[in-house]
Structure 1
Amino acid sequence: MKYLNIILLSLSSLFAIGCSGGDATEDVSKPTPTPPSGSDEQLASYVAPTYNDDYTSIASWDNRSKWNLANVHDPSVMKADDGYYYIYQTDASYGNAHIGHGHFFCRRSKNLVDWEFMGATMSKLPAWVKTKLNEIRSNMGLSASTVNFSDETQFGFWAPCVRRVSANLYRMYYVITVPGTINGDNTWSERAFIGLMETSTPANVSSWVDKGYVITNVSDKELNFNVKSNDWANCYFKYNAIDPSYIITPSGEHWLAYGSWHSGFAAVQLNASTGMPLKTLGNPWGTDISAYGKLINTRQMGNRWQASEAPEVVYHNGYYYMFMAYDELSVAYNTRVVRSTNIDGPYVGIDGTDVTNNGGDAYPIVTHPYKFSKGYGWVGISHCAVFDDGNGNWFFSSQGRFPANVGGNAYSNAIMMGQVRSIRWTDDGWPVVMPERYGAVPQPAITESELVGNWEHIDLSYNYAKQDVAITMNLAANHTITAGTWQGATWSYDATNKVLTANGVKLYLQREVDWEASPRKATIVYAGYNGKKTYWGKKVN
Structure 2
Amino acid sequence: MSAGKRWTILVAIISTAVVLGISGFYKEKAITYPKAPPESVASKTDPDIVMDELKWTTNNTHDPEIIKEDGVYYVYSTDYMTGGKPAPGIQVRKSTDLVNWEFAGRVFDQVPLEAAEWTMGGSTFWAPEVVKMNDRFYLYYSVSQTGSRNSYIGAAVSSSLEGPWKDLGAVAVSKEGDGHTVNAIDPSIIQAKDGTYWMSYGSYFGGIFLVEINAETGLMKNRNEEGVKIAQRKNMDYGIEAPSLFYNDQTDMYYLMTSYGWLEDTYNVRVARSQTIEGPYLDYNGREMIDVSDGSWDTGTKIIGSYFFENDSGWIGTGHSAFLQDNGKDYILHNARVGDDKFWSHLHVREVFWTEDGWPVASPERYTGKGSVKANKREIAGTWEYIHHERFNEEPASSTIITLGKDGSIQGDTVSGLWSTTKENMLLLEWDLGGETVSENVILSAAWDWENGKGTIVFTGLGENGTAVWGKKVEK
Q: 1:474 aligns with which of 403, 422, 426?
A: 403
Matches within 5 A, 1:507-526: 507-517=442-452, 520-526=453-459
Matched, 1:245 2:245: no
**Equivalents in 1 of 2:319, 2:444: separation in Å?**
22
Q: CA deviation at 1:486?
A: 4.2
Gaps of 5+ in 2: 1-26, 431-438
| Cα distance in 2, alignment partners of residues 311 and 190 from structure 1 | 17
1:155 matched to 2:123 = yes
Task: Verify the 8 A CA contact 2:385 2:402 in the aligned structure 1.
Answer: yes
Match of residue 128 from structure 1: 114
In 2 relative to 1, CA 246–399 (structure 1 residues): closer, same or farther, beyond 3 Å? same
Work out whether 1:67 is the aligned partner of 2:63: no
Correspondence for 2:350: 421
Partner in structure 1 of residue 76 of structure 2: 88
Q: Could you tell me how far 1:189 is from its partner in structure 2?
A: 3.4
**Deviation for aligned residue 1:64:** 1.9
Match of 2:233 in 1: 299
Q: How does 1:105-254 map to 2 (within 5 A)?
A: 105-129=91-115, 133=118, 154-166=122-134, 168-178=135-145, 189=148, 191-202=150-161, 204=162, 206-217=163-174, 222=179, 238-254=181-197
Counterpart among 373, 379, 384 of residue 321 in structure 2:
384
- Paired with 2:34 and 2:194, the residues of 1 have a C-alpha distance of 45
Deviates more, 1:364-373 or 1:424-433: 364-373
Distance 1:178 1:219 in 2: 11
Give, in whole Å, the separation in 1 of the partners of 2:373 and 2:427. 16
- Spell out structure 1 runs of 4+ moving beyond 6 A: none
Matches within 5 A, 1:452-531: 452-462=381-391, 464=393, 466-487=395-416, 489-494=417-422, 496=424, 498-503=425-430, 504-517=439-452, 520-530=453-463, 531=465
Does the Cα contact within 8 Å between 1:325 and 1:336 map onto a contact in 2?
yes
Note the alpha carbon deviations across 1:91-147, whole angstroms, 9 max, x for none: 011113632xx411101111100011100011222133257x3xxxxxxxxxxx9x5
Give the distance between the partners of 2:156 and 2:307, measured in 1 at CA.
Answer: 36
TM-score (norm 2): 0.85
1:431 counterpart = 2:360? yes
Please say which of residues 64-73 and 108-117 is displaced more in the overlay. Answer: 64-73
Deviation at 1:505, TM superposition (A): 1.4
**TM-superposition CA deviations, 1:233-287 (whole Å, max 9, x none):** xxxx511001111111111111000000012111011112111111241xxxxxx
Secondary structure of the structure 1 residue equivalent to 2:378:
helix
Cα deviation per residue 1:57-93 (whole Å; 9 max; x = unaligned)?
23323x222221111001001111x111110101011
Cα-to-partner distance string for 1:324-382 (whole Å, 9 max, x where unaligned): 11111111111111111111110101111112377733231111111112111111000
Q: What is the rounded CA distance, in whole Å, between the counterparts of 1:88 and 1:221 in structure 2?
A: 30
Q: What is the rounded CA distance, in whole Å, between the counterparts of 1:367 and 1:280 in structure 2?
A: 34
Corresponding position of 1:276: 219
From 285, 310, 323, give the equivalent of 1:351.
285
Change (3 A) 1:216 1:421: same
**Would the aligned equivalents of 2:246 and 2:323 in 1 still touch at CA under 8 Å?**
yes
Per the normalisation by structure 1, the TM-score is 0.75
C-alpha contact 1:244 1:257 (8 A) present in aligned 2 = yes
Aligned length: 434
Aligned counterparts of 1:130 and 1:397: Cα–Cα separation in 2: 29
Percent identity of paired positions between Structure 1 and Structure 2: 30
2:311 alignment counterpart: 374
Moved more, 47-56 or 270-279: 47-56
How far 1:432 sits from its partner (Å)? 0.4
Distance 1:510 1:160 in 2: 32
SS in 1 for 2:243: strand
1:57 paired to 2:57: no
1:540 matched to which residue of 2? Answer: 474
> What is residue 266 of structure 2 aligned with on the other side?
332
- Taking a change above 3 Å as real, the CA distance of residues 538 and 41 of structure 1, as seen in their structure-2 partners, is closer
Q: Report the Cα distance in structure 1 between the residues aligned to 2:414 and 2:191, rounded to whole angstroms.
A: 44
Distance (whole Å) between structure 2 residues aligned to residue 279 and residue 437 of structure 1: 40
